């Protein structure tokens, strides 16, 4: 029996901190039901930077028929409101939602991006669409690329900067095969980079080619990463009509969790600094910025317009308008609301329901925006775009407000410890039991924006390769995660060493065995018979392996390096010791190896190494936590843990465009950015603020 | 001290011993024809003239008076007398000689000058002279009268920065330090690590480009190693673990093509390094008088249309000296190509803009058009993918030839550059020379024939669907990642040239077939674990009695392909965890079966007709056949 989805279903209880919380979803549902304004100038007391940006003087009247003009001209299209319905592909969504979105864009006089899924026959004659040219060329030919009103070259997305895509063969049905121009029932891989775009000059070439081919505007979509202001000017100089910048935490159909939760920077800092640098370089006129990633309501949108966005893109918001309840199972194919489920299953999404809801939602959203304009004494949206003078920040660090380039009150450093640390048992459990990189979907709840930070590294984000260098596929291309230590006498296959000294014998044996298999070593109180060769012994602050010595005493000479055992905030010690050794001229003869007692995920390892660690020590306790009470198949489970950490290190390195982790990452603070982190801490660490020019 | 990425075009030329010095106008023109890779934001030249001087020529950009600058040098024990002042746009360039003994304080001077961006020493060398400014290649050439200058070696560079921090030439290339000049195209991901390493050596101030960092690394390494070892350390090709460890801060990663000029021991050296996957374009060349390094073949052909040219292997290096000749060629068994000229033609493309050839072809109104002097023209065929034309193209076709082709038939007499036939869904492209990198990406239907060799990633994500099926037939060999992510169609290589097979064949393959004449080394299939890892794996399986001693000793030096093929079931439970999927495709060495022969016969005959080859006879030979699964 076919089950038609044409109504909202109940939202499950949210157990953890969620960006898309019940209030935000409720707001969208109200607009979708009634097409009337609900709430403006919403204030949320969170650590998200955008929530700490406010409008200076504004009224607070909300009426149902505001007069302010929200319309803009965009690339020859008259838009009722500058909203872009963002780039959700046929394949990621189940078809009917794609049709609903494209039709709603037509009715509401907005614009929809098709994503990398080719064109469904039902929408190919609609004009308010941008078609996509992406790394796998899905659905691309002369005719589809000429449909619609413009072309988007998709370099990256906020939920997974530097990561390719994968659609399982079971999802590649006849219809998807036709639309994507790929074989049926065979899985579809999107390469991580465009293999014709390894640099900005290559991007210029592809933009020029697509302009010759289509005579239409070409946009470039990138994830917001460390060099975003420079990447945006590069795109502007390359002849593109605009950029879609997708911030950290944005939604997606499928992404490795460790990437989503560690890479990329917030959209608000990216837009603010990109807008400024474009003006400085005289490139801002006739170049459009579309801001994407966590645009939850008209207030978020209004702030982004004022920071410099010409348009905002909404993806998750539109899905919620169509009934999404954020169970985050898109990648598994059994969406309870039929938005992202596999084709041919019994649930079918009702197109009219989708169209009506989106039309209502955009209507309500538009009316809210008009109300915001009126309360700011503005008569049209054009008067809001780039008006940083209307904004101020409240309670953020000096470095952050410098990047935003808006007035600041109560400038202050937020203390880096805001909550008690807790392990992610679910993540560890998944690593240990499945031995695969955990894949998830939709937006992130990572710190500092949503979950409350408990460690310094929670405030740091990792770079993703976008345009200036290609990202690398960690599975099918060559990435070296190996590390040389102790003057080249130790070679590890990855910069991770387990300290097993506090565990039971069976756990010790399992981790030792898996370490040998993987090509790394362990630390124990004494050498075991079986694994003596790969065991470093520790005693009274000295770590020994053959004639090699490491010490916890950082003033000692005649050692191969130093262990940092102090558990909390050792990020600061690493940086200080790194600087000290460099000053003394010994840095490249000695190793710095800290213990990560509070291990959250493999992103931690990357951050520690970028801060100056030469490898890290993990306590075997994390294996025990992940195991829970089930102690069967210990060798296999230990192997799962080690190999998956190794794969995740390669995955992140590849996403950063790094082919050799030791050479590229060691002490490379350029590859990190602070997100409103305490400025004094940023100084000690040598880390730059996100969005800095 | 910010780092901002840029894009660029480059050129290098070194005269052979006994040949005439090279005129700067040739260099400027060879840079100018690829100016679309750069911008008006920065260009530069470096000349080397071997001499017996006992002083260094030092050049400094400075925003103050000559007297002030002289005082700064005098404070560091460098007496400056004659000073040549040149206009470098909105800043002055001061050039003067400093005796050899006192030169070591230059870094300190730079640190002080850079504190308030007041100036920068940008060229120091006995035979080296850097000329750089803000402008297009010809503007800067004009500014420094490059046309009237002659040199033994030149490097040249045009740059498009993403960010121009003030209109000063500090950030233009070449970068130089003590007899070294460097131009570079790419984005060094190791930049931050390399800079940390240099800081630990006491280098304090940086203008903030990766070329500058590379110039310093080169200088520092040369204090301890010879040229070849220095190049090996930079490009991660050194084997000694201790050197790998101690110099871990001086290895380069990320996409790069690096051209280095260097004077030492009364000789001049020109070098080129490519990253491990050769992500930036580069072409090498040689003729009776000169050696060449260029971003594009047309830059070399502009100086000598009959020069021998060859591409570089990924992760390789080219070293040539004026007196010793080629020390390392950048490719084993190089294939230098042939040049062709048509008897009759419809269009001479020499004076046509790089992106305007299509309009000229359409203007002829003819269905069959012959073009001569194709000179790096890009996007050919983009304006008429479905117009059923026949084109004969003589010369060197630039990037993006016949992208999205539907039904045109194109014959290329010469080499083609990168990104040829991307997204092609029909028609035929016949290349009589070599093809560059990423040939036939997402190729879905039709035929592509290559008489020579192909570069990296040929047949990348080729696919077939419905009744579409693509065929890529290569007479010669291929570089790395042949058929990566391939999901349909056939790649057939006859290996008729001397080119060494590339690595990582069929990595990520999910369908289709790669057929290579001869027995390909198993180590070159897909992405494999290295020997050390393999040994660890075997050792731990043996420890748990999952394999026996015999298996261990038999397999310990074998490839992972062999190990996995023979692995007993109990061990497989663990080894399966090593991979995700599609890292290593399935490999066979065998005769073609009847179906395969029937399928290929007509195509190979057609190939032979087009190329004048006799490959049909090989169809009964043994082939290496690579597919996604058994």
Q: pLDDT tens, B230-245?
A: 999 999 999 999 999 9
Q: Give the model's pLDDT for residue B485.
A: 96
Comparing B204 with A103, the larger pLDDT belongs to: A103
A486, A608: one domain: yes
Tell me if A434 is assigned to some domain. Answer: no
Pick from B8, B423, B581: which is nearest to A141 by CB? B423
Residue A475 binned pLDDT confidence (cut-offs 50, 70, 90): confident
Residue B587 binned pLDDT confidence (cut-offs 50, 70, 90): very high
Tell me if A514 is assigned to some domain. Answer: yes
A102, A250: one domain: yes
Tell me if A417 is assigned to some domain. Answer: no
Comparing B193 with A566, the larger pLDDT belongs to: B193
- What is the C-alpha separation between A54 and A150, in angstroms, rounded? 34
- What is the C-alpha separation between A97 and A94, in angstroms, rounded? 6
Final residue in a domain of this structure, among A383, A409, A435: A409
Give the CATH number, domain containing residue A91: 3.20.20.70
- What is the span of the domain harbouring residue A624? 445-685
Average pLDDT value for residue range A127-132: 96
pLDDT at B421 exceeding the cut of 80: yes
Q: Give the model's pLDDT for residue A131.
A: 96
pLDDT (tens digit per residue) in B163-203: 666 567 888 889 988 899 999 998 899 999 999 999 999 99
User: What percent of chain A stands above pLDDT 90?
Assistant: 90
Tell me if A426 is assigned to some domain. Answer: no
* Beta carbons of A110 and A359 less than 8 angstroms apart: no
Q: Give the model's pLDDT for residue B164.
A: 60
User: Nearest 5°: phi and psi at A626?
Assistant: -70, -30
Min CA distance, A668 vs chain B (Å)?
Answer: 4
Pick from B2, B275, B400: which is nearest to A693 by CB? B2
Across the interface, do B255 and A470 touch by the CB < 8 Å criterion? Answer: yes
A356, A466: one domain: no
No. of helices (H) and no. of strands (E), chain A: 20, 31
Strand-by-strand arrangement of the B428-431 sheet: B347-348, B368-377, B390-397, B409-413, B428-431, B446-450, B470-474, B487-493, B511-517, B622-627, B586-591
The whole-angstrom distance between residue B36's C-alpha and the CA centroid of its chain comes to 17
Residue A117 binned pLDDT confidence (cut-offs 50, 70, 90): confident
pLDDT (tens digit per residue) in B130-147: 999 988 999 999 999 999
pLDDT at B404 exceeding the cut of 50: yes
Q: Give the model's pLDDT for residue A168.
A: 82
A388, A507: one domain: no
Final residue in a domain of this structure, among A409, A428, A463: A409
Residue A438 binned pLDDT confidence (cut-offs 50, 70, 90): very high
Min CA distance, A55 vs chain B (Å)?
Answer: 30
Mean pLDDT over each residue of chain A, to the nearest integer:
95
Across the interface, do A473 and B508 touch by the CB < 8 Å criterion? Answer: yes
Mean pLDDT over each residue of chain B, to the nearest integer:
93
Tell me if A692 is assigned to some domain. Answer: no
CA distances from A31 to A36, A37, A356, B269 (A): 6, 7, 11, 70
A367, A455: one domain: no
Min CA distance, A172 vs chain B (Å)?
Answer: 12
Min CA distance, B252 vs chain A (Å)?
Answer: 7
For residue B258, the chain A residues in CB contact (below 8 A) are none
A89, A146: one domain: yes
A456, A399: one domain: no
pTM flag (> 0.95): yes
Q: Give the model's pLDDT for residue B1.
A: 45
For residue B275, the chain A residues in CB contact (below 8 A) are 659
For residue B252, the chain A residues in CB contact (below 8 A) are 663
- What is the C-alpha separation between A533 and A511, in angstroms, rounded? 14
Tell me if A247 is assigned to some domain. Answer: yes
CA atoms within a 13 Å half-sphere pointing along the CA-CB vector of B164: 21
pLDDT (tens digit per residue) in A403-429: 999 999 999 888 888 999 999 999 999
A357, A463: one domain: no
For residue B466, the chain A residues in CB contact (below 8 A) are 177-178
pLDDT at A74 exceeding the cut of 90: yes
Pick from B186, B484, B536: which is nearest to A199 by CB? B186
For residue A178, the chain B residues in CB contact (below 8 A) are 465-466
DSSP letter for each residue of B220-237 = HHHTTS-HHHHHHHHTT-
Burial of B520 (0-12, 13-18, 19+ CB in 10 A): buried
Q: Give the model's pLDDT for residue A334.
A: 84
Size of interface A-B (CB pairs under 8 A): 295
Give the domains, in start order, of chain B with CATH numbers.
13-51+127-329 (3.60.20.10), 347-525+586-627 (2.160.20.60), 531-578 (no CATH)
Min CA distance, B69 vs chain A (Å)?
Answer: 30
Across the interface, do B378 and A666 touch by the CB < 8 Å criterion? Answer: no
A404, A456: one domain: no
Tell me if A279 is assigned to some domain. Answer: yes
Average pLDDT value for residue range A624-632: 95
Across the interface, do A635 and B537 touch by the CB < 8 Å criterion? Answer: no
**B71: alpha, beta or left, given left = phi > 0 and alpha = psi -120 to 50?**
alpha
Pick from A208, A610, A663: which is nearest to B251 by CB? A663
Final residue in a domain of this structure, among A409, A424, A453: A409
Average pLDDT value for residue range A366-391: 98
A361, A458: one domain: no
Across the interface, do B577 and A184 touch by the CB < 8 Å criterion? Answer: no
Average pLDDT value for residue range B13-29: 97
A458, A374: one domain: no
User: Nearest 5°: phi and psi at B63?
Assistant: -95, 35
* Beta carbons of B165 and A232 less than 8 angstroms apart: no
Residue B51 binned pLDDT confidence (cut-offs 50, 70, 90): very high
pLDDT (tens digit per residue) in B436-473: 999 999 999 999 999 999 999 999 999 999 899 999 99
Domain count, chain A: 2
Tell me if A392 is assigned to some domain. Answer: yes
Least trusted range by pLDDT, from A202-206, A457-461, A473-477? A473-477
A402, A469: one domain: no
Could you tell me the two tokens for B222? Answer: 């040369």
Average pLDDT value for residue range A29-51: 96
Best of B210, B253, B295, B437 to disrupt the A interface (most A CBs within 10 Å) is: B253
User: What percent of chain B stands above pLDDT 70?
Assistant: 98
Across the interface, do B186 and A184 touch by the CB < 8 Å criterion? Answer: no
Q: Give the model's pLDDT for residue B338.
A: 76
pLDDT at A123 exceeding the cut of 70: yes
CA distances from A415 to A410, A412, A605, B562 (A): 14, 9, 23, 55
For residue B280, the chain A residues in CB contact (below 8 A) are 198-199
pLDDT (tens digit per residue) in B351-370: 999 999 999 999 999 999 99
């Amino acid at each position: 029996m076919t089950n038609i989805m044409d109504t909202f279903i109940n939202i499950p209880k949210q157990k953890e901190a969620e960006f898309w919380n019940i209030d935000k979803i409720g707001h969208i549902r109200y607009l979708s039901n009634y097409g009337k304004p609900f709430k403006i100038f919403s204030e949320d007391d969170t650590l998200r930077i955008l929530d700490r940006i406010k409008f200076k003087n504004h009224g607070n009247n909300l009426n149902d028929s505001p007069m302010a003009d929200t319309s803009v001209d965009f690339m020859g299209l008259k838009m009722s409101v500058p909203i872009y319905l963002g780039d959700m592909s046929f394949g990621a969504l189940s078809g009917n939602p794609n049709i609903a979105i494209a039709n709603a864009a037509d009715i509401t006089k907005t614009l929809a991006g098709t994503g990398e899924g080719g064109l469904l026959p039902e929408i190919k004659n609609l004009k308010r669409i941008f078609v996509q040219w992406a790394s796998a060329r899905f659905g691309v030919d002369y005719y589809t690329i000429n449909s619609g009103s413009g072309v988007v070259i998709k370099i990256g997305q906020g939920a997974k900067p530097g990561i390719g895509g994968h659609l399982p063969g079971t999802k590649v049905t006849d219809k998807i095969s036709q639309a994507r121009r790929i074989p049926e029932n065979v899985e579809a891989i999107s390469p991580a980079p465009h293999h014709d775009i390894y640099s900005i000059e290559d991007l210029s070439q592809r933009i020029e080619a697509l302009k010759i081919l289509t005579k239409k505007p070409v946009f470039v979509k990138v994830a917001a990463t460390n060099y975003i202001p420079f990447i945006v000017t590069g795109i502007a100089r390359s002849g593109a009509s605009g950029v879609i910048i997708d911030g950290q935490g944005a939604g997606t159909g499928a992404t490795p969790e460790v990437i989503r939760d560690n890479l990329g920077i917030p959209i608000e800092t990216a837009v603010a600094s990109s807008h400024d640098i474009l003006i400085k370089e005289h490139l801002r006129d006739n170049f459009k910025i579309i801001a994407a990633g966590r645009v939850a309501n008209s207030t978020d949108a209004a702030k982004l317009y004022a920071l410099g966005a010409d348009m905002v893109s909404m993806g998750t918001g539109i899905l919620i308008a169509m009934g999404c309840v954020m169970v985050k199972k898109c990648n598994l194919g059994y969406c309870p609301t039929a938005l992202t489920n596999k084709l041919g299953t019994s649930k079918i999404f009702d197109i009219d329901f989708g169209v009506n809801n989106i039309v209502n939602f955009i209507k309500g959203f538009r009316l809210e925006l008009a109300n915001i304009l009126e309360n700011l004494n503005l008569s049209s949206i054009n008067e809001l775009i780039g008006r940083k003078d209307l904004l101020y920040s409240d309670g953020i660090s000096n470095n952050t407000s410098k990047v935003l380039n808006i007035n600041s009150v109560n400038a202050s450093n937020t203390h880096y410890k805001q909550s008690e640390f807790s392990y992610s048992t679910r993540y560890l459990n998944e690593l240990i039991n499945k031995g695969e990189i955990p894949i998830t979907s939709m937006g992130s709840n990572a710190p500092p924006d949503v979950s409350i930070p408990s460690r310094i590294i929670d405030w740091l984000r990792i770079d993703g390769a976008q345009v200036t260098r290609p990202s690398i596929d960690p599975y099918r291309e060559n990435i070296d995660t190996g590390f040389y230590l102790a003057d080249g006498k130790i070679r590890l296959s990855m910069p991770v060493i387990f300290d097993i000294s506090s565990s039971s014998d069976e756990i010790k044996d399992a981790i030792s065995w898996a370490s040998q298999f993987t090509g790394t070593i362990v630390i124990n109180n004494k050498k075991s018979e079986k694994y003596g060769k790969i065991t470093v012994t520790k005693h009274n602050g000295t770590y020994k392996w053959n004639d090699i010595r490491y010490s916890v005493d950082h003033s000692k000479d005649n050692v191969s390096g130093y262990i940092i055992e102090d558990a909390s905030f050792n990020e600061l010690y690493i940086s200080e010791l790194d600087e000290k050794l460099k000053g003394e001229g010994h840095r490249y003869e000695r190793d710095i190896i800290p213990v990560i007692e509070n291990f959250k995920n493999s992103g931690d390892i990357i951050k520690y190494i970028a801060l100056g660690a030469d490898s890290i020590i993990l306590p075997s306790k994390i294996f025990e936590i992940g195991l829970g009470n089930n102690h069967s198949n210990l060798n296999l489970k230990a192997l799962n843990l080690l190999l998956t950490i190794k794969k995740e290190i390669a995955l992140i390195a590849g996403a950063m465009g790094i082919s050799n982790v030791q050479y590229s990452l060691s002490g490379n603070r350029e590859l990190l950015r602070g997100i409103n982190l305490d400025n004094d801490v940023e100084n000690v660490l040598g880390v730059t603020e996100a969005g800095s020019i | 001290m910010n780092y901002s990425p840029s894009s660029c075009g480059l050129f290098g030329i070194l005269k052979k011993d006994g040949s005439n010095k090279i005129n700067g106008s040739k260099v400027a023109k060879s840079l100018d024809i690829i100016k679309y890779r750069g911008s008006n934001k920065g260009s530069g030249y470096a000349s080397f003239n071997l001499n017996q001087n006992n002083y260094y020529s030092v050049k400094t950009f400075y925003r103050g008076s000559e007297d002030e600058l002289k005082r700064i040098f005098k404070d560091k024990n460098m007496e400056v007398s004659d000073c040549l002042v040149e206009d470098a746009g909105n800043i002055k360039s001061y050039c003067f000689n400093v005796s050899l003994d006192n030169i070591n304080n230059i870094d300190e001077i730079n640190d002080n000058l850079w504190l308030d961006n007041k100036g920068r020493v940008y060229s120091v060398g006995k035979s080296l002279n850097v000329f750089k400014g803000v402008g297009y290649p010809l503007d800067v050439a004009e500014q420094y009268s490059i046309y009237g200058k002659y040199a033994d070696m030149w490097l040249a560079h045009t740059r498009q920065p993403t960010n121009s921090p003030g209109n000063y030439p500090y950030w233009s290339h070449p970068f130089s330090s003590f007899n070294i000049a460097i131009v570079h195209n790419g984005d060094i991901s190791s930049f931050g690590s390399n800079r940390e390493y240099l800081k630990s050596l006491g280098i304090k101030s940086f203008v903030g480009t990766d070329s500058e960092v590379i110039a310093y690394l080169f200088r520092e390494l040369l204090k301890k190693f010879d040229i070849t070892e220095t190049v090996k350390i930079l490009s991660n090709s050194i084997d000694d673990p201790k050197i790998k460890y101690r110099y871990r801060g001086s290895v380069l990663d990320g996409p790069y093509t690096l051209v280095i000029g260097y004077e030492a021991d009364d000789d001049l050296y020109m070098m080129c390094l490519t990253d491990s996957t050769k992500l930036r374009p580069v072409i090498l060349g040689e003729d009776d008088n000169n050696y060449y390094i260029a971003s594009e073949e047309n830059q070399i052909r502009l100086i000598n249309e009959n020069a021998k040219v060859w591409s570089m292997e990924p992760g390789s290096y080219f070293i040539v000296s004026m007196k010793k000749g080629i020390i390392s060629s950048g490719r084993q068994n190089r294939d230098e190509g042939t040049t062709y000229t048509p008897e009759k033609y419809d269009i001479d493309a020499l004076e046509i803009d790089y992106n305007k050839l299509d309009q000229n072809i359409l203007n002829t109104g003819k269905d069959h058009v012959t073009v001569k002097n194709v000179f790096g023209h890009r996007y050919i065929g983009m304006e008429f993918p479905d117009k059923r034309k026949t084109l004969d193209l003589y010369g060197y076709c630039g990037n993006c030839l016949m992208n999205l082709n539907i039904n045109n038939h194109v014959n290329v007499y010469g080499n083609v550059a990168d990104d040829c036939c991307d997204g092609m869904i029909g028609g035929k492209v016949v290349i009589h020379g070599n093809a560059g990198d990423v040939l036939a990406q997402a190729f879905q239907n039709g035929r592509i024939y290559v008489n020579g060799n192909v570069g990296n990633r040929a047949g990348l994500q080729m696919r077939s669907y419905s009744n579409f099926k693509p065929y890529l037939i290569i007479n010669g060999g291929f570089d790395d990642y042949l058929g990566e992510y391939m999901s349909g169609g056939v790649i057939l290589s006859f290996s008729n040239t001397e080119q060494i097979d590339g690595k990582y064949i069929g990595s990520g393959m999910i369908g289709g077939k790669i057929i290579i004449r001869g027995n390909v080394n198993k180590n070159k299939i897909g992405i494999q674990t290295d020997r050390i890892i393999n040994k660890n794996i075997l050792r731990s399986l043996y420890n748990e009695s999952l394999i026996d001693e015999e298996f261990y000793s038999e397999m310990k030096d074998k490839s992972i392909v062999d190990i996995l093929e023979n692995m007993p079931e109990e061990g497989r439970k663990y080894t399966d965890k090593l991979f995700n999927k599609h890292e290593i495709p399935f490999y066979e060495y065998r005769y073609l079966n009847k179906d395969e022969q029937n399928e290929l016969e007509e195509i190979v005959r057609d190939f032979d007709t087009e190329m004048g080859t006799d490959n049909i006879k090989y169809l009964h030979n043994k082939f290496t056949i690579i597919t996604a699964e058994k």
